[in-house]
Amino acid sequence: MNRDRSRRAGMTLIEVILAIVILGLALGTLIEASSRALAVVRQARNYEMARRMLGRVDAENPLRLKEEIEAGQEAGGFEGGPEGWSWTRTIEDLGEADEQKEGLFRLTTRVTWAQGERRSTEETVQMLYVPENSDGVRTLKPKVL
């Protein structure tokens, strides 16, 4: 009778191995979930930074100071900003092909950054109506009298 009790008092090797496997699977799942959560946080931080950088492009390169609004593209980087970030701004004249849209421009601003080997982009698209002034020029720059 004492022998039966001593055999049942401890765990068998199979029970120990099974407990370790279950514990390992649970820890692996927790580590995977936390790394995915960190990746989502990193991505959200990058997109928030991209929104700030889009605003910075408009503040540092304002269209209202250009002598004339014309179709074209310009690009640049962020001096003193995050490394590996750049921007492009494309202005399309929608009135070239359609007289009813004369003075209408599509302004697309893109901010691009590298995250490891993957490149990501955030962009805004705005429509601008810029009628000709009395001099026949399309500009947002205020006329100084």
- Whether 144 maps to a domain, the answer reads no
pTM: 0.70
- Whether 63 maps to a domain, the answer reads yes
Range of the domain at 34: 2-129
- Whether 24 maps to a domain, the answer reads yes
Rounded CA separation 87/81 (Å): 12
Instruction: Compare 134 and 16 and report the one with higher pLDDT.
Output: 16
Examine the pLDDT at 125 and tell me if it is beyond 90.
yes
- Whether 136 maps to a domain, the answer reads no
Rounded CA separation 45/50 (Å): 9
Cross-strand partners of 21: none
- Whether 91 maps to a domain, the answer reads yes
Examine the pLDDT at 1 and tell me if it is beyond 70.
no
- Whether 134 maps to a domain, the answer reads no
- Whether 84 maps to a domain, the answer reads yes
31-64: string of b/e by CB count within 10 Å (b at 16+)?
A: eeeeeeeeeeeeeeebeebbeebbeebeeeeebe
